[in-house]
Structure 1
Amino acid sequence: MKIGIYGQFYHSESEMYIQLILDSLQHKDVEVVIEEKFLDIIDRNQHISDSFSKLSTFTELDSSYDLFFSIGGDGTLLKAITFVRDMGIPIVGINTGRLGFLATLQKEKISEGLNQIINGQYTVSERSLISLETDPPVDEFTPMNFALNEVAINRRNTTSMIRVDTYVNDNYLTSYWSDGLIVATPTGSTGYSLSCGGPVIDPNAKNLVLTPIAPHNLNARPFVIPEDSKITLKVSGREPTYLVSLDSRIGTLTNETTMNLQLAPFRIKLVQLTADSFIDTLRQKLLWGEDKRN
């Protein structure tokens, strides 16, 4: 078994968990490859065995990898998908942060969970992505023009609202007068969209959701549509430019740029322990089912 490991940050609270992960893997019959920049960060804080290989970047990922470990929070995992892309390598999210909606393993159960994963005691949850095409093209989103969580349009450098003319399957829907608009996948429904009043959507649902950000037209509400819908957006406002983010990647677009969003032609595979479920995650992370009367 060949495993790639990626992380973005290192902090004192995560040290013991990183060491636990690496020590556990060294005692397994696996080949471990650590992304070079992450290994350099770790080496400045602790000693790592020389038995681990190095890669300068993960552009060298190929079909020989069986699993890809993302160590950190949800933001790290969202960055990890830009390395895996359409290669179909299952991702194991190991949460050493706070919330970790996308994580396979929480930091308190790393040893037990790693044993299960190495022994094949897991399932794979396939997650849809959104792709973005712009007219004219935008360099920041080429070629990685996809998002696992959401594509978000936001105003910039002004307190004035923007207008987002929105079409679904070439049919005019509405113009959102707002701070912006979020187009989220079911995976992203528990992220930015949720904080703006959007619904929670099961990852197996074949939908997308349009969620306005602080709409000024008060009749605007989140709208759930089929995942195979084509969404066309055009923004205008007092400022000549606005921001568009694909998960953690941000670009600047000019007014009247046409954005076409649709389902990406591939899916991301997230590893899920056999005993876990999305319902369990919701209950734990959102504290559902707890009796607050005591």
Structure 2
Amino acid sequence: MDAIGLVLHPTKLVDKSVDTVLAFARAGSLRVLARDTDRDRVPDGVELLPEARFAAEVGAIIALGGDGTMLGALRMTVGRPVPVLGVNHGHLGFLVEVTPAELPGALAKVAAGEFTIEHHSCLEVGQLPVKYGFNDVVLGRAGRSGTVSVDLTVNGQRYGYYRGDAVVVATPTGSTAYNYAAGGPVLSPSSRAMVVTPVAPMSGISRPVVLGASDRVTLTVAAESAPIAVEVDGTPAGDLERGDRLTTTMRPDAAQVVRLSATDHANRSRIKLSLLDLPLRRDQLLELIPAALRRNPD
């Protein structure tokens, strides 16, 4: 590896983390690359490249943001997976592992080889400009009226239909996101599976369906359906009309995530899932902690 790539959150200030990475790179005589769309947000010493060249030349990526920034970095590497380290400048963050304060120590561990690689599969979607989803593909209402109605076909066999607010197709990584909020199961990161979950179902299939990684899933828009807007990893990806079909399959080992401690990361994820189930906001939860024990309330 002779080049580190930076992927920045589109709006959050991440200057201190950028400076930390630059100092680390100088000490190791490494190039630091960024996309030319971030030219106004990186200092001198960072090479700016078009996104295609950026993805082709980096040896590793550091994503500075939240899970959304991390997912964007992973999508860039599908054709050429490289290790991606996530630094959490967001809120809960299930994919990102390192806080900005921990970044210097994390980089030292990476340099010493004290890390593992966690391989992630993604959903590969046909018929859309956004082709890869590491969390989920969501078929929701394009407007506020009407319902989504789609037929589910798996490997050419018709399973039934959905009618409700939305349908979510999620990976194990994305099972803790919209799928979880809609009442779907949490899939083990080690499972070779995907899950299809209806949101606020009115009729048809009313429960999640867990499928194998080799299954080919097709969702066909029914004649009575409202127009559908598709999102891939929360990014608008196109619209579907009556009669349109969307097909998705799992692409194995599509990305590499750096894990400094898989056990610590799993424990933090369990805590974060528990926090999502609490009927308290973060500031309300903080009020329950004695003042002497509070640290980093932001």
Among 198, 217, 224, the alignment partner of 1:231 is 217
Residues 159-174 of structure 1 mapped to structure 2, 5 A cutoff: 159-174=145-160
1:206 aligns with 2:192: yes
8 Å Cα contact 1:166-1:232 kept in structure 2: yes
1:26 partner SS: helix
Paired position in structure 1 for 2:183: 197
CA distance in 2, matches of 1:282, 1:245: 24
CA distance in 1, matches of 2:31, 2:41: 21
Paired position in structure 2 for 1:76: 69
Gaps of 5+ in 1: 43-47, 135-140
1:53-87 CA distances to partner (integer Å, 9 max, x unpaired)? 221x2200366532111111111122223322220
Among 229, 249, 254, the alignment partner of 2:241 is 254
Q: Give the C-alpha shift of residue 260 in structure 1.
A: 1.5
Amino acid aligned to 2:219: L
Q: Give the C-alpha shift of residue 286 in structure 1.
A: 2.4
Q: Give the C-alpha shift of residue 39 in structure 1.
A: 3.5
Residues 7-156 of structure 1 mapped to structure 2, 5 A cutoff: 7-12=8-13, 14-42=14-42, 48=43, 50-55=44-49, 57-61=50-54, 64-134=57-127, 141-142=128-129, 144-156=130-142
Amino acid aligned to 1:51: G
Q: Give the C-alpha shift of residue 129 in structure 1.
A: 0.8
1:211 partner SS: strand
1:17 partner SS: helix
Paired position in structure 1 for 2:254: 267
8 Å Cα contact 1:150-1:246 kept in structure 2: yes
CA distance in 2, matches of 1:276, 1:27: 30
Q: Give the C-alpha shift of residue 219 in structure 1.
A: 6.6
CA distance in 2, matches of 1:96, 1:65: 22
Q: Give the C-alpha shift of residue 218 in structure 1.
A: 8.4
Gaps of 5+ in 2: 276-284, 290-298
Alpha-carbon spacing, 1:161–1:105, altered in 2? closer, same or farther (3 Å):
same
Amino acid aligned to 2:76: F
Alpha-carbon spacing, 1:87–1:73, altered in 2? closer, same or farther (3 Å):
same
1:127-157 CA distances to partner (integer Å, 9 max, x unpaired)? 11111224xxxxxx24x41211111100121
Identity of aligned residues (%): 26
CA distance in 1, matches of 2:206, 2:90: 34
1:216-255 CA distances to partner (integer Å, 9 max, x unpaired)? 1387111211111111111236566211112124211111
1:11 partner SS: coil
CA distance in 2, matches of 1:5, 1:120: 20
8 Å Cα contact 1:163-1:175 kept in structure 2: yes
Q: Give the C-alpha shift of residue 263 in structure 1.
A: 1.4
CA distance in 2, matches of 1:235, 1:116: 49
1:32-57 CA distances to partner (integer Å, 9 max, x unpaired)? 11222224134xxxxx2x332221x2
8 Å Cα contact 1:158-1:239 kept in structure 2: no
Q: Give the C-alpha shift of residue 104 in structure 1.
A: 3.4
